């Protein structure tokens, strides 16, 4: 992003093809979302797993004969599989010419080694040696040494050991994005400081990080798991000119739930307002995301810019790029909250007994009730492609110009933000002045051409009776 900005140091920002796939900050969750959609033919075959996918693939292949693993990780070939397991690297998966597959068993046979892990170990120790020499050295590796055990233990095919991983309510449905799946995995594995890696947004690198938007929404999402034993979540996101850890102190068990109540109230009002105005869910939640952006900014963005961003009408400005990133941060934070509510609901026992004398039980019950209302409000929360446009893509008209302007202004007022006056360029001012003079001159010409008709008495004086 810094290099991209430096290449276009003027105010004009081109379509960011220079960034390639980086332009699509939410590509992975969007693809996952499409795969697990109930209408997708792949839904029943797609599973999101926590931790390293390698372990799950290797374990599955060991339990199922004639398995083929598609991967981009070359070290997946090092696991101890059955003889009929094949590995296909994604760069070799060209269906027009056929699939190029590798057999770990055949490779072991050709190298004359009992384990590819020993061969890989010698390769790391002596990368300059030939394959033949490495294979010979692999036979002499001390497999009882601490150094080797530390290396090879990574490639022992084993089923995931955490008990909770065998609970389908937590592992597969509800479907959650990978970064949240990893967060839940760390939490239930008793990590001291769970880490969440936020997507790298296409944004203006000289401005404050767009991830500042929606911070309190994510803080609430991190707080919802009932088994948490930590006080801080470490978010990896941009700060200034680099990526660093930002600590998010989560709420304690007896936190004031007024922020949750306020959020639920805001959403309830939003739904009611949207029904009254006949606003689509895509536009409604985009406008709610806008309200989250407005509360964090000292200077509100101009209405025309907001209109263009919502309709994905790229104007080649860095202001457009950064406001889009801020809106994406707000919407993705809401998405995280919704998914974490679903995880929390799956983890709480529906028939849990509440002690009316236990303050914690009462607070938990009230929190669950409020969060259930929030989940209900968000039941029509749009998919990523429906609300997260990419600068440079085709426009998507969520609402026509005048109606959208009216809705945006109402959002500004509801957020307690003064609607900014439209800034008119000198060129536009001159054009408006010329247009005004032209209309005035035309009106004067019409008046001169029109017969002067006075009252009835003037007609008598002129002898026109």
pLDDT at 91: 85
DSSP annotation of 87 reads E
- In terms of domains, do 15 and 123 share one? no
- In terms of domains, do 74 and 123 share one? yes
Edge-first strand order for the sheet with 86-94 is: 68-71, 86-94, 98-102
- In terms of domains, do 283 and 225 share one? yes
Q: Per mean pLDDT, which range of 21-25, 157-161, 368-372, 433-437 is the poorest?
A: 157-161
Q: What is the pLDDT of residues 150-178, one digit of tens each?
A: 998 888 876 555 545 555 545 554 578 88
Residue pair 227/187 in contact by the 8 Å Cβ criterion: yes
Backbone phi, psi, residue 290, to 5°: -60, -40
Look at residue 424 and tell me if it is in a domain. no
DSSP annotation of 158 reads -
Q: Tell me the angle at which helices 116-125 and 104-111 cross, rounded to the nearest 10 degrees.
A: 60
| Average pLDDT score over residue span 273-300 | 94
- In terms of domains, do 201 and 297 share one? yes
Strands 98-102 and 86-94: antiparallel
- In terms of domains, do 129 and 255 share one? no
Look at residue 27 and tell me if it is in a domain. no
- In terms of domains, do 314 and 191 share one? yes
| Average pLDDT score over residue span 22-40 | 88
Q: Total structural domains in the chain?
A: 3
- In terms of domains, do 16 and 54 share one? no
- In terms of domains, do 379 and 312 share one? yes
* Average model confidence (pLDDT) across the chain: 84
- In terms of domains, do 102 and 62 share one? yes
Q: What is the pLDDT of residues 382-426, one digit of tens each?
A: 999 999 988 888 888 888 889 999 999 999 999 898 888 766 556
Look at residue 76 and tell me if it is in a domain. yes
pLDDT band (50, 70, 90) for residue 451: low
In 214-280, where does DSSP find H-type helix? 215-223, 258-277
Strands 195-197 and 242-249: unpaired
pLDDT at 144: 92
- In terms of domains, do 140 and 209 share one? no
pLDDT at 63: 85
380 alpha carbon, distance to own chain's centre: 17
Look at residue 162 and tell me if it is in a domain. no
Residue pair 48/172 in contact by the 8 Å Cβ criterion: yes
Per the structure, the complete domain to which residue 91 belongs is given by 50-155
Cα gap 7→331, rounded to integer Å: 29
pLDDT at 458: 38
- In terms of domains, do 406 and 342 share one? yes
Whole-model pTM over 0.75: yes
Look at residue 44 and tell me if it is in a domain. no
């Amino acid at each position: 992003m810094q290099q991209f900005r430096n290449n276009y140091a003027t105010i004009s920002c081109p379509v960011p093809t220079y960034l390639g796939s980086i332009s699509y900050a939410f590509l992975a969750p969007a693809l996952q979302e499409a795969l697990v959609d109930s209408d997708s033919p792949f839904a029943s075959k797609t599973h999101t797993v926590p931790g390293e996918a390698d372990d799950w693939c290797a374990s599955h292949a060991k339990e199922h004969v004639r398995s083929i693993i598609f991967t981009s990780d070359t070290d997946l070939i090092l696991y101890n599989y059955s003889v009929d397991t094949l590995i296909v690297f994604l760069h070799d998966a060209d269906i027009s010419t056929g699939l190029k597959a590798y057999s770990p068993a055949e490779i072991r046979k050709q190298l004359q080694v009992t384990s590819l892990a020993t061969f890989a170990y010698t390769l790391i120790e002596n990368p300059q040696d030939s394959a033949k020499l490495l294979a010979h050295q692999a036979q002499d590796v001390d497999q009882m040494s601490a150094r080797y055990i530390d290396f090879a233990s990574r490639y022992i095919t084993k089923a995931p050991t955490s008990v909770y991983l065998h609970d389908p309510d937590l592992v597969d449905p509800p479907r959650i994005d990978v970064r949240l799946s990893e967060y839940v995995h760390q939490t239930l594995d008793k990590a001291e400081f769970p880490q969440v890696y936020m997507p790298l947004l296409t944004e203006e690198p000289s401005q404050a990080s767009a991830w500042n938007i929606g911070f309190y929404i994510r803080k609430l999402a991190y707080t919802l798991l009932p088994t948490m034993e930590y006080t801080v979540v470490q978010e990896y996101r941009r700060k200034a000119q680099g990526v660093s850890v930002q600590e998010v102190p989560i709420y304690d068990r007896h936190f004031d739930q007024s922020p949750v109540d306020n959020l639920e109230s805001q959403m309830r009002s939003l739904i009611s307002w949207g029904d009254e105005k006949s606003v689509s869910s895509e536009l409604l939640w985009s406008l709610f995301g806008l309200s989250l952006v407005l509360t964090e900014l000292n200077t509100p963005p101009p209405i025309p810019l907001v209109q263009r961003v919502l309709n994905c009408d790229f104007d080649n400005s860095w202001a457009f790029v950064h406001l889009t990133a801020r809106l994406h941060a707000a919407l993705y934070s809401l998405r995280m909250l919704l998914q974490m509510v679903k995880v929390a609901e799956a983890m709480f026992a529906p028939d849990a007994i509440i002690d009316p004398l236990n303050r914690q039980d009462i607070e938990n019950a009230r929190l669950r009730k409020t969060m259930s209302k929030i989940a209900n409000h968000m039941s029509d929360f749009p998919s990523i492609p429906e609300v997260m446009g990419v600068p440079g893509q085709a426009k998507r008209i969520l609402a026509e110009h005048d109606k959208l302007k009216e809705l945006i202004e109402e959002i500004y007022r509801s957020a307690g933000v003064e609607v900014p006056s439209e800034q008119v360029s000198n060129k536009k001012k001159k054009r408006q002045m010329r247009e005004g003079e032209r209309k005035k001159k035309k009106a004067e010409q019409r008046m001169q051409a029109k017969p002067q008709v006075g009252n009835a008495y003037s007609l008598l004086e002129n002898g026109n009776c």
